[in-house]
Structure 1
Amino acid sequence: MDRVVEADVVVVGGGPAGINAALASGRLGAKTILIERYGFLGGMSTIALVYPWMTFHTEKGEQVIKGIAQEIVDRLQEKGGSPGHLQDTVGFVSTVTPYHPEIYKLVAVEMLKEAGVKLFVHSFVDQVKVEGTEITSVTLTSKSGKYEIKAKVFVDATGDADIAYLSGAPTSKGREADGLTQPMTMKFRMRGVDLVQVKQYMLDHPDEFYHKTPFAQLSSIPLTGVQGFYTHWKMSGVPINRDQILFFTGPESDEVLINCTRVQGLDGTDVEDLTEAEEEGRRQVILMSEFLKSKVPGFATATISAVGTQIGIRETRRIVGAYSLTIEDVVAGRRFPDVIARSGYPVDIHDPSGKGVVAADIEGEGAYDIPYRCLIPQSIDNLLSAGRCISTTHEALATTRLTPSCMATGQAAGTAAAIAFHDKTIPRLIHVAKLQEQLRLANAVLD
């Protein structure tokens, strides 16, 4: 027999979006439960080594993501788990935010406890019960058997829109033309890297690196990321379908995070495809590390120090919401009356089948609005979405999927869920002005 637990708000998915949603809900006095299938929190940031967080700022350096996301960075800095926001030496964005994943895991739990959130880890949601147009409960499978978790409002922060999908709410997946998704990446860290040598090589061979690399400042600022070594890669013969080397420094002084493996043509919601992706990703890690050690300046004595617990997933299912954000909205820096978050991250589409990345900058002020309607799925009245699975097109997802944006939509979803509970209504019918007021009080940037 299922054990029954009741709450006001249930958040499923313990990644950055889910953490921030649960924090926002708990702080507003809603009895909140956060469910996570792994034994620790952090989602792709800890499970798949997605690093660093990018970006909290526009290209011009204006910070457009604050609120709970910034609180987490502040708490990490207090504990020596982050240097804060640093200039991006790749030059793709204004800033990146390095962090220590192990410290982030602990900070997240501490903050959730402070907010009164009940946490279930090692718990996998495999059933969603629906009556009419509302979810009544979700069922967890765990080591101690089944749990039925009842609530008034639910937040889907799974990244894969699992709760929406299981509830029968409409979802979409991948590129509109063919359903293909952005590639998966098995990220890994290496220690023993001579970053002084790497930086000197960059200064001596600027043509070998991304054209926006800030070479004029490189001698006087910390090296945070490197994109290039184009000739080395072209001559490598490594059978990975990409066109350059990309890595980010830290968290240790001789450590880098390698973002180079690329697994294409597989579906991150299909267990057989995921099985294949894990094997292929780990095979590519070994190929890539051997190439770096033998051919790339600074890596001669480097060794693998960590590999993702699972492969990193950029794109799977997303909800079909009351509104779907488009690439035109993003590039135009469009404003919306129901704004609940802003982002300054440019469009960054990793080709589902080719080698390259399609990028597009944001016009005007360098930031765009994410409207509340993107968090509201069709068909299910008491469900909200947060993070990677909000309602967007394939192209717009290439910016909303980044961690700071997910943190911001998570805070908005959790705030809306708590308001809906307290006002005895459904998320679609809450007063957006009340939601926006509460977000501003919590230091979110909407203007």
Structure 2
Amino acid sequence: MTTVLTPQVLVVGAGSAGVAAAVAAAESGAETLLVEATGHVGGTLANQLLEHSAGFHDAAGNQVTGGTGQRIVSLLQQYGGSPGHIPDDVAYTATRTPVNHAELSMCEAILLRRAGVTLMLDTAVVAVSTVDSVVSEVAVETAGVGRTVIRPGIVVDCSGDAVVFGLAGAALQTDRPGRTQPLSLTLKLGAVDFGPLLDYARSHPGDFRAGSHIGQPSDDHVNLWGFGALLAAGHADGRLSWRRTELHLAGWPTRGEAVLNVTRTVSGYLVLAEQVMQTVDWFRRYVPGGTNAYLAAVADRVGVRESRRILGLTTLTQEDVLGGRRSPESIGTGAFPIDVHDADAPGLSHTDGLRAAYDIPYGVLVARDFTNLLAGGRCVSSTHEANGSARITATCFTTGEAAGTAAALATLGGFDTHELEVGKLQAALRARGVIGARA
């Protein structure tokens, strides 16, 4: 017999956006169910070993992300899993927020429990039924349990890949068909000797991003963006099968650990796995201090920067982001540079810094053709270029929290997502500590 559940709010995906959405919906008084296809919460930031969270501050150092995202960082600090927001060594943004990945996942789970969220792990969405402009049922399969039918009041799709939108036949963006950003698989190395590594960085400033601060072996955290000459040498001698002009290294010198973001392909996991092993071999042979390095961990999922993006009531554009555009329907702010990796080149096609934060309008969360379907995270309604900023984890906390709060207000108020009074949503978000939810 198939189990049937009827939560007021269903959140799909337990990454940064989904956790924030579920916490916000539950704390706003809605019965909230969170389903996640893997066995963990935390998503890309926790389980893809993302180097750190970013986007909490604008270029001038003003905080632009608060609310649940900041609460997660504060709880992680309390448990010793993060130093909080610290200056960005490579001067790409004002700050970065290193995290212990396992402890981040646990802290997010703690907040979910405290909020009263019901969580289903190892649970994938397999079918969506609709009636007119309403998502009426979402079918999920749970490993070892079987099928559950969910009949929600409001659905918040924080899957990253807009899974519910896709299965419902909802409208999607079409500005970059077949030209999305490449995939990566992040890796962590152990037994790295940071003394010689940082000496190399200090003595070869041209091999690293201009304006970089080179730390010390006694530092808890260092951040490096470069190694282009060593990467070129590794490619020239055939040890690296793909070309990269730079890599990003987030290091914990006192622990001898380093996370590397360097692999890249459009072909999938099997290619990335070989690139990971080539990277380890290259690091041992070419990077000073890397002789004894070993592969300590690999992300539990392929890192997807961009896939399906929804077509909402409003679409965030490159001009909105670069111009710091204000919106009377703002539900939060973003400020990370437009960061776009080129699928056909060894570097990035965009690293466009922002002079000021930009507003995120409510309409980018709202399905154009369904009245009980919202999105949060990197699949919100945005152009390819704007998504290069909006996909960052701090901004995902913001859009997720707004979507979860909106879902609760709508279902508890007995109206749909198109009818929601944005001023009421903004007031609720301000009360939650969200920055930039304007009156």
**TM-score clears 0.5:** yes
Q: Is the 8 A contact 1:344 1:367 kept in 2?
A: yes
Residue aligning to 2:300: 309
**Whole-angstrom CA distance in 2 between matches of 1:135 and 1:258:** 41
Q: Is the 8 A contact 2:221 2:252 kept in 1?
A: no
Whether 1:53 and 2:53 are equivalent positions in the alignment is: yes
Q: CA deviation at 1:312?
A: 0.6
Q: CA deviation at 1:55?
A: 2.1
Whether 1:170 and 2:171 are equivalent positions in the alignment is: yes
Residue aligning to 2:192: 193
Whether 1:299 and 2:290 are equivalent positions in the alignment is: yes
**Structure 2 counterpart SS, 1:109:** helix
**Structure 2 counterpart SS, 1:213:** coil
Residue aligning to 1:152: 153
Q: Is the 8 A contact 2:228 2:244 kept in 1?
A: no
Match of 2:329 among 319, 338, 361: 338
Residues 91-143 of structure 1 show CA distances to partners (whole Å, capped at 9, x for unaligned) of 21111111111112211111111111101111111011111110112111122
**Whole-angstrom CA distance in 2 between matches of 1:325 and 1:196:** 44
Residues 221-266 of structure 1 show CA distances to partners (whole Å, capped at 9, x for unaligned) of 76531111222112111222321122112497211111000012x4
* Unpaired stretches in structure 2, ≥5 consecutive residues: none
Residue aligning to 2:233: 235
**Whole-angstrom CA distance in 1 between matches of 2:247 and 2:81:** 26
Q: Is the 8 A contact 1:54 1:403 kept in 2?
A: yes
Whether 1:27 and 2:18 are equivalent positions in the alignment is: no
**Structure 2 counterpart SS, 1:106:** helix
Whether 1:121 and 2:99 are equivalent positions in the alignment is: no
Residue aligning to 1:435: 425
Residue aligning to 2:343: 352
**Whole-angstrom CA distance in 1 between matches of 2:2 and 2:342:** 44
Alignment of 1:74-85 (within 5 A): 74-85=74-85
Q: Is the 8 A contact 2:34 2:117 kept in 1?
A: yes
Alignment of 1:2-401 (within 5 A): 2-142=2-142, 143-172=144-173, 176-214=175-213, 223-237=221-235, 238-250=240-252, 253-264=255-266, 266=267, 277-357=268-348, 358-363=350-355, 366-401=356-391
**Whole-angstrom CA distance in 2 between matches of 1:339 and 1:168:** 27
Residues 281-310 of structure 1 show CA distances to partners (whole Å, capped at 9, x for unaligned) of 111000011001110112111111000112
Q: Is the 8 A contact 2:337 2:351 kept in 1?
A: yes
**Whole-angstrom CA distance in 1 between matches of 2:216 and 2:315:** 40
Q: Is the 8 A contact 2:125 2:138 kept in 1?
A: yes
User: Quick one: structure 1 residues 109 and 221, their matched pair in 2 at CA, closer, same or farther if it must change by over 3 Å?
Assistant: closer
Residues 418-439 of structure 1 show CA distances to partners (whole Å, capped at 9, x for unaligned) of 0001110011211111111111
Amino acid in structure 1 at the alignment position of 2:370:
I
Amino acid in structure 2 at the alignment position of 1:414:
G
Q: CA deviation at 1:51?
A: 2.3
Q: CA deviation at 1:172?
A: 2.7
**Whole-angstrom CA distance in 2 between matches of 1:187 and 1:108:** 21
User: Quick one: structure 1 residues 93 and 129, their matched pair in 2 at CA, closer, same or farther if it must change by over 3 Å?
Assistant: same
Q: Is the 8 A contact 2:219 2:253 kept in 1?
A: no
**Whole-angstrom CA distance in 1 between matches of 2:74 and 2:369:** 39
Whether 1:423 and 2:422 are equivalent positions in the alignment is: no
Q: CA deviation at 1:218?
A: 7.2
Q: Is the 8 A contact 1:27 1:115 kept in 2?
A: yes
**Whole-angstrom CA distance in 2 between matches of 1:389 and 1:247:** 27
**Whole-angstrom CA distance in 1 between matches of 2:146 and 2:78:** 39
**Whole-angstrom CA distance in 2 between matches of 1:197 and 1:67:** 41
User: Quick one: structure 1 residues 219 and 328, their matched pair in 2 at CA, closer, same or farther if it must change by over 3 Å?
Assistant: farther
Calculate the aligned-residue CA RMSD, in Å.
1.6
Q: CA deviation at 1:196?
A: 2.8
**Whole-angstrom CA distance in 1 between matches of 2:156 and 2:302:** 24
**Whole-angstrom CA distance in 2 between matches of 1:221 and 1:342:** 32
Q: What TM-score results when the alignment is normalised by the length of structure 2?
A: 0.95
Q: Is the 8 A contact 2:218 2:254 kept in 1?
A: no
**Structure 2 counterpart SS, 1:427:** coil
Residues 300-346 of structure 1 show CA distances to partners (whole Å, capped at 9, x for unaligned) of 11111000112110011010111111111111111111111111100
**Whole-angstrom CA distance in 2 between matches of 1:307 and 1:219:** 24
Q: Is the 8 A contact 2:47 2:101 kept in 1?
A: no
**Structure 1 counterpart SS, 2:150:** strand
Identity %: 34
**Structure 1 counterpart SS, 2:198:** helix
Q: Is the 8 A contact 1:234 1:243 kept in 2?
A: yes
Residues 144-191 of structure 1 show CA distances to partners (whole Å, capped at 9, x for unaligned) of 111011111010000000101111111136xx3553110000100001
Amino acid in structure 2 at the alignment position of 1:55:
G
Q: Is the 8 A contact 1:99 1:251 kept in 2?
A: no
